[in-house]
Structure 1
Amino acid sequence: MTSTVPASTRDLYRPRLHYTCAQNWLNDPNGLVYHEGVYHLFYQHNPFGTGWGNMSWGHATSTDLLTWTERPVAILCDEEEQIFSGSAVVDEGNTAGFGGPGTTPLVAIYTSAYSEASARPRIQAQSLAYSLDGGETWTKHSGNPVLDRGSENFRDPKVFRYDSPTGPYWVMVAVEATEQRVLLHKSSNLIDWEYLSDFTADGPDDILWECPDLFELAIDGDLTRTAWVLIVSVNPGGVAGGSGTRYFIGTFDGERFIEEPSAASGAGTADDGGRQCGMSGPLGGGLRGSWLDWGRDYYAAVSFSGLPYRRVMIGWMSNWDYANSTPTEGWRSAMALPREISLRTVDGRVRLAQSPIAPEATRTTDASDAVGRPLSARRTHLASMPRGSACRVRLTAPAPARGTFGLVFGAGGSEGACVTVDAAARAIRLDRTASGVVDFHELFPSVEHAPLDLLDGRIQLEIYVDACSVEVFAQGGLSTITDLVFPQGEPTSIEFFASSDVTVDELEVAVLG
């Protein structure tokens, strides 16, 4: 479909808070690594156009995860291979032998997607590149590939250092995409790899598994109690349609990941809430694990290596159903906000929670006249924001016994993205069917649903609205919804609504950019 948005206004959709490259195409985050005070974000990038193709590793750096500086393309495709997704590590022991005295190499582990013209036509295998100048320039390993199964769909290696009782070694987590299998290998030097085990789970037969990650987290902040989290992105088959990202909680003994059924993290929804969210049982169709995000536009999320004492992830903010069609000018796609990941025990089950990393407010809009008094069915105007600006809305309220309430972000009147809380059904939804430009693809207009845990009978929302996106964090990040939106109106109006009386304890609108 052809978008109705005028070409001259499309750059108004460039986000203030979210990373985008200056021009051309962007998708999966790759090689996230922290080294000597610098966060490195690599990503799938087409240096030559605004659609998918010519996959190379783009590069950006930051010292605070908030402000990013775009760097030159790090690893460029050529006639023999495209540079697909992967990871990067700090090889502090120079185990691969790429560094000289006093030099700590950064090593990228990526998928070589070999072309028909290569010696490995259509094969996907794992390769290395290294940097001896802190990530500025990269050299491909002369012995590539280092792990070749002769497969056309073996990809997306995530590598981390594992400390075993007999000594440390590298672990690679990759996928056989069409077989829906995560494969684990080990190596002492990043070059020679030995198979360990694999992991699979239930799901439709016609989907791909991509972009795995595996890491250990403390439970409830207690370092003596930990669990392992396995991330897998799926396409199609996402909970909201198209692409999406699942997670599993379990154990890892250095060789094998085993999901713990007692930690099945789709919990926290009553039967009515499950039906409201379009699910059968806690996840729908009896699926194990849970969803990292319940929206349409959060995919390929992976975490930083080299970052001590915390786990931070970044995901791609789009959906393969329509990613090539979004109505922007000269650039396409953005990253979601970085999120700090933790594990919390809720109703006796271990759950994953996500906390957004965002800048401090430059000013706060006073909404105090709405606090402490019942708000009823009429809409209450809270604030107006200039077109293309970014804001954060925080709201806490006792869960009402009946009815719904929520927020509308849009031009007022009939245009707006609507976030609705249905406490009785234990569900939250984001409706973008009238959010602005929705006609550029038939699958874009949608309504997303997420489960809502009632913690102490209260509702807590933290919502980030940028030029082309809405990210909802409910109940301290136990449920999140991420959706693109392309508003037409100016300015953006923020309104509160309720179908019956609701007393709000906190309601703050903060300008962030």
Structure 2
Amino acid sequence: MSENRYRPRFHITAPTGRLNDPNGLFIEDGVLHVFFQKDPAYPFGAKRTGWGHASTPLQGEGAGEWTHHPDALYPDAAYDANGCYSGGAIRDEAGNVHLFYTGNLKETDPATGEMARRATQNSVSVEEVSSGLGGVFRRNPNNPLIDGPAEGYTAHYRDPMITRDPEGAAAYRMVIGAQRADETGAVVLYRSDDLERWEFAGELGFDVSSAEPGTSPDLVPGGYMWECPNLLSIRDEADGERYELFIICPQGLERQVDEAGTTHYASSDQCGYLVGHLEGTTFRVVRGFTELDYGHQFYAPQAVAEQGGLVPDSYLLFGWMGLPAQDDTPSVESEGWVHSLTLPRRVSLHGRTLRQRLVLPEIVCNRVEDHSMPDVGNVLHASELLKQEKVTFSVIDTSESVVVSATYSPLGQGSLSLTYKGDTRVVPCTPGELEIFVDGATVEITAQDGERAFSIAAFPTPGTRWSRIEFNR
């Protein structure tokens, strides 16, 4: 038995300590670079959140297997002494990569004598990323570029994500997750022509007058904070039209079960998307809020375009297979790490609905499918076509314990119910491709041709390994 029975082979984990949000994705010479929030001393040392760094070739030998590099960021500047928080990556017109992140500083408020948070937005230049060191990362001497929140917002003002502006109002646009002074969630927009000087354009507003519903109860969700926004231009495969894909993580939504038995907002922190068009600071919604992943651990996703141009056809997306304040897992004591990222998912838009396809490692793709892969490690893989017949499937370990179970029913509107540790999630589901990938303490499932996804940090019975994926009709 492998000494690391929980650590996945093909999912990014921190070598030691705690991992959370994916950050700063970019592709360089056919190599995908992924940064991530990292606390290497967890659970023994003080919280000192920086950025870890891993990479993999997208094709050929080693594709899908990760090389870890020295950490890219550590909180040692005056404006980020309490953490280099999440952010994104962008190429300038010369092709140079810049990372943007939120600097977190806790300082004494002279008016009250209490500790207060100071959030700033900062940039880092990236050089020599193909070197043995994994890159040289230099903080911008002009940091902070955005020194604190705009008026009317609290210090919960973070996670800058930058893309080129397809409307031409400026060369670049930045969205930041925010909390209003009344403790409700929002996203704000900035624009810049040079990645240095950022103009506050305003808060995004939402016009739902022509919106069709998504799969969630709300056209636009509420919540006390919106984290980790992504604002992405994308071409719809069905109608060829350009849309904006707006991904947000609203916190504070309450679990609901509707009349059809569908589960909504089941986790403590949510993630979903809207589809529409951005005009100035108004997001005209054409399809309302839909959860991006219905599983038990998924949050804070980030995406990078697979190809150039202002309006890509697809993106690669990673999510955090964890949730805030859920760090007590068996891997901490036994192997010294907690949480992973998802596999990369190829996301595309089809009929204003997002489809997610797992990008499997080549070593897995090249195998004959047998629902178990002992020579690859603690890995299982299965792909099935759901039709107009009831199907149950289970992920089983070598103790014959059913760790994850699911039932697909074609009756009525169709549904897929999935259970882990007694927590059952039920979502609408129609016939289409089902894919299951199990890798150490990770289980990822997509269904309905990628329109439904589940991410679960699932642990086999202590002392065992995965055995098989079992189907019953």
TM above 0.5, yes or no, is yes
Match of 1:196 among 195, 198, 201: 201
Asked if structure 2 preserves the Cα contact closer than 8 Å seen for 1:106 and 1:131, the reply is yes
What displacement does 1:158 show?
Answer: 0.2
Per-residue deviation, residues 366-397 of structure 1 (Å, max 9, x unmatched): 5xxxxxxxxxxxxxxx7585895212101124
| Partner in structure 2 of residue 317 of structure 1 | 321
Do the aligned partners of 2:102 and 2:159 also contact (CA within 8 Å) in 1?
yes
Partner of 1:410 in structure 2? Answer: 397
2 CA distance for matches of 1:106 and 1:417? Answer: 41
Most deviating of 84-93 and 297-306: 297-306
Aligned counterparts of 1:327 and 1:396: Cα–Cα separation in 2: 33
Report the secondary structure of 1:138's partner residue. strand
| Contact 1:343 1:351 survives alignment (8 Å) | yes
Residue type of the alignment partner of 2:157: F
Question: Against the structure 1 CA distance between its residues 295 and 385, is the aligned structure 2 distance closer, same or farther, given a 3 Å change threshold?
Answer: same
CA displacement at 1:253 relative to structure 2: 3.5
SS at match of 2:435: strand
1:218 paired with 2:235, answer yes
The aligned runs of 1:41-190 (5 Å cut-off) are: 41-50=34-43, 53-64=47-58, 66-78=64-76, 80=78, 81=80, 82-93=83-94, 104-116=95-107, 121-134=116-129, 136-150=135-149, 151-165=154-168, 168-177=170-179, 178-190=183-195
Are the counterparts in 2 of residues 385 and 491 from structure 1 also a CA contact under 8 Å? Answer: no
The 1:422/1:306 distance shift into structure 2, 3 A limit, reads: closer
Q: Out of 422, 428, 432, which is 2:416 matched to? A: 428
Q: Secondary structure at the match of 1:340?
A: strand
Whether the 8 Å CA contact 1:299–1:319 is kept in 2: the answer is: yes
Residue 371 of structure 1 corresponds to none
| Corresponding position of 1:391 | 380
**Alignment partners' CA distance in 1, 2:77 and 2:329:** 26
User: Which residue of structure 1 lines up, in the alignment, with residue 284 of structure 2?
Assistant: 258
Q: Partners in 2 of 1:10 and 1:235 — Cα distance?
A: 37
Structure 1 counterpart SS, 2:71: strand
Q: Would you say the 8 A contact 1:89–1:306 is kept in 2?
A: no
Structure 1 residue aligned with 2:258: none
2:18 aligned partner: 25
CA deviation after TM superposition for structure 1 residue 152, in Å: 1.2
Please report how far the alpha carbon of residue 206 of structure 1 lies from its aligned counterpart in structure 2 after TM superposition: 5.5
Counterparts of 1:69 and 1:300, CA distance in 2: 22
Partner residue of 1:340?
Answer: 346
Counterpart contact for 1:180–1:200, Cα < 8 Å: no
Q: Deviations over 1:423-474 (max 9, x none)?
A: 21521122122xxxxxxxxxxx52222220x2xxx34311111111211110
Q: Deviations over 1:45-77 (max 9, x none)?
A: 113334782111111122216122111111111
Task: Indicate yes or no: 2:221 matched with 1:244.
Answer: no
Match in the other structure for 1:372: none
Look up the match of 1:227: 243
Cα gap change, 1:416 to 1:212, in 2 (>3 Å): same
Distance 1:256 1:449, change over 3 A: same
Higher relative contact order (CA 8 A, sep 6+): 1
Bigger mean CA offset, 137-146 vs 25-34: 137-146
- CA distance in structure 2 between the aligned counterparts of 1:314 and 1:43, rounded to whole angstroms: 10
Aligned-partner SS, 2:5: helix
| 3-state secondary structure, aligned to 2:171 | strand
Aligned AA (1:157): P
**Deviation digits for residues 27-56 of structure 1 (CA, Å, limit 9, x no counterpart):** 001111123333221111113334782111
Q: Deviations over 1:151-187 (max 9, x none)?
A: 4111000001114357x51100111144310111101
* Aligned residue identity for 1:190: L
Q: How has the CA–CA distance of structure 1 residues 107 and 495 changed in structure 2, closer, same or farther, with 3 Å as cutoff?
A: closer
**Cα 1:118/1:324, change in 2 over 3 Å:** farther
User: Counterparts of 1:126 and 1:420 in 2: how far apart (Å)?
Assistant: 45
Larger Rg: 1
Kept after mapping to 2: 8 A contact 1:404/1:423: no
Over residues 326-370 of structure 1, what are the superposed CA-to-partner deviations in whole Å (9 max), with x where a residue is unaligned? 53321111110101111112xxxx21110110123353255xxxx
Deviation at 1:9, TM superposition (A): 8.2
- Superposed, 1:279-318 pairs within 5 Å as 289-304=289-304, 307-308=307-308, 309=312, 310-318=314-322
User: For this pair of structures, how many residues does the alignment match?
Assistant: 418
- The Cα shift of 1:490 comes to 3.5
TM-score for both structures, normalised by structure 1: 0.74
Identify if the C-alpha distance between structure 1 residues 158 and 14 changes in structure 2 by more than 3 Å, giving closer, same or farther: same
- List runs of 5+ in structure 1 lacking aligned partners: 1-7, 94-103, 265-288, 367-381, 434-444, 503-513
CA distance in 1, matches of 2:178, 2:242: 28
Unpaired segments ≥5 residues, structure 2: 207-217, 256-264
Cα RMSD of the aligned pairs, angstroms, is: 2.9
Instruction: Give 1:482 deviation, angstroms.
Output: 0.9
* % same residue: 27
Sort the Cα spacing of 1:75 and 1:497 in 2 relative to 1 into closer, same or farther, 3 A. Answer: closer
- SS of 1:57's equivalent in the other structure is strand
